[in-house]
Structure 1
Amino acid sequence: MYTLARFFASDPQRHEGVRPVQIWGLRLFYFLMLIFVAPAAWRVLLTHNGPWDPLRAIAFAVWATYPALALFGLIHPLRWLPLMFFTIGYKAIWLAFVAWPLWQAGTLWGTQTGEIASSFLALPLLVAVVPWGYALRTYVAWPGRANAMAPLGT
């Protein structure tokens, strides 16, 4: 039980006070990006014939790049948090502007859009593993004011 409790407790000595469960959760999502998104995107890029629709080409170029960067996130999960912010952002925007209206109209499921939406439904888990306190201290606090946003008792 002690080991399990440590897994969910913050550790000020390692990972700047971020809970090990969040570190491993981040690593899991980086790994999933690497093994599921990158190969699919690269397959489309490498096997495409003929001229590209420019917007479709941009989408596949982004989908090939950001999960390839997830390799670095496996090694340094906190340094690569902006990659998670990007992932959360684009998935949330897509769900809000593409999937939500179709879902409200009752035309989402059973379509290719529905398949994509179902793959995005793990978004709350991704949001849950992001150490938001660390993110605010590191990416939002003004320089020299990082301690002002530190949790009480640290």
Structure 2
Amino acid sequence: MEEVGKVRLNFLRAMYVFIVIGLGLSNTPEAISEMGRAADSYTVINAMLMGFMILALVGVFFPLKMLPILMFELLWKVIWLAMFALPIHLSAGLDEYATDVAFACFIGVVLTPLVLPWRYIFKTYFVR
């Protein structure tokens, strides 16, 4: 199996750190402040994002083993932009919250494919 170079591994680690910092600043304070107050879809999303953040932290130390986290990150952002943000933008326009989320998703859609080791992913997950 083809090895992934040290530079690519460091880019992967940087992407995991970027996710940890981003979610740590944007999601963790809200999740902690809402702890024990409600059990609704927002708290489920916050819990899932905290779990995602913890797995991204693991990715800093094991970048190749946690590649499915980055693949999931790319997929959900592409799906959200294509199925929700773009149609709303083309019809009524996005509100301030949706614009901020769309921008964050767009950044992820641009950066994530640049750091992913596509040959390694293809050989590891799709060729047997």
TM-score by length of structure 1 reads 0.73
Find out whether 1:47 has 2:33 as its counterpart: yes
Q: Which has the higher contact order (CA 8 A, sep 6+)?
A: 2
* Maintained 8 Å contact 1:30/1:70: yes
Whole-angstrom distance in 2 between the partners of 1:21 and 1:121: 24
Equivalence for 1:64? 50
**TM-score, normalisation: structure 2:** 0.86
For residue 96 of structure 2, what is the aligned residue in structure 1? 111
1:147 aligned partner: none
Which ranges in structure 1 are unaligned for 5 or more consecutive residues?
1-11, 143-154
What is the Cα-based RMSD across aligned positions, in Å? 1.9
Aligned equivalent of 1:37: 23
Report the equivalent of 1:91.
77
Runs of 4+ in 1 over 6 A off after TM superposition: none
Q: CA contact under 8 A between 1:73 and 1:79: conserved in structure 2?
A: yes
**Over residues 126-154 of structure 1, what are the superposed CA-to-partner deviations in whole Å (9 max), with x where a residue is unaligned?**
11211111011111222xxxxxxxxxxxx
Alignment of 1:8-23 (within 5 A): 16-23=2-9
CA distances 1:38-92 after superposition (whole Å, capped 9, x unpaired): 3432212211163232x22221111111111112111121111011011111111
Aligned counterparts of 2:92 and 2:10: Cα–Cα separation in 1? 37
The match for 1:81 among 67, 74, 82 is 67
Hey, which of these two has a bigger chunk of helix by percent? 2
Which of 100, 114, 120 aligns to 1:134? It is 120
Name the CA distance, whole Å, in 2 between partners of 1:43 and 1:23: 30
Aligned length, in residue pairs: 126
